[in-house]
Amino acid sequence: MRQKLTEFMRGRYGVDMLNKFLMNFTIAMAIIATVVSLMTGNQYLFILWLIPLVLSYYRMLSRNINRRYQENQKYLLIYNKVRNKVRAIKNRIVDFPKYKYLKCPNCGATMRVPRRKGKITVTCPKCSHRFDAKS
């Protein structure tokens, strides 16, 4: 049985990060659509979760590997931007008691300085611009 599945999947794209996201999105949509359809009495609303499920299986079983790879790369670009923004916000929240974040007036780079040091002169590590700031 395993050999037949391996033979069937040979030359097909398989599972990637975008497919994993689509599967998780499908589960969330199924739960939400089921609850809403139970509350409203609309029997056809719960079918909405089938769209990401069908798309996920289409991508997984596709033989156009180059196209699916390009789709995944676009998804990963967006995913990494969002992940980096969330990490930056988390770091600012965790560092709030000890550090203050400043922006360089010259280049706009963000830097971290210790709090409660009074007025200090800061040198931007990116452009070497010096400026005064309160910490």
Please check the confidence at residue 43 and state whether its pLDDT lies above 80.
Answer: no
pLDDT bracket for residue 67 (50, 70, 90) = very high
Question: How confident is the model at residue 80, as a pLDDT?
Answer: 97
Question: How confident is the model at residue 2, as a pLDDT?
Answer: 86
Question: How confident is the model at residue 37, as a pLDDT?
Answer: 83
Question: How does 35-46 read in b/e, with b if 16+ C-beta sit within 10 Å?
Answer: eebeeeeeeebb
Please check the confidence at residue 30 and state whether its pLDDT lies above 90.
Answer: no
Question: How confident is the model at residue 87, as a pLDDT?
Answer: 96
* Mean pLDDT for the stretch of residues 41-60: 83
* Mean pLDDT for the stretch of residues 19-41: 88
- Joined tokens for residue 18: 């975008």
Question: How confident is the model at residue 35, as a pLDDT?
Answer: 86
Please check the confidence at residue 99 and state whether its pLDDT lies above 90.
Answer: yes
Please check the confidence at residue 75 and state whether its pLDDT lies above 90.
Answer: yes
Question: How confident is the model at residue 74, as a pLDDT?
Answer: 97
Residue-by-residue DSSP string for 38-88: HHH--SSGGGGGHHHHHHHHHHHH-S-HHHHHHHHHHHHHHHHHHHHHHHH
Question: How confident is the model at residue 49, as a pLDDT?
Answer: 80
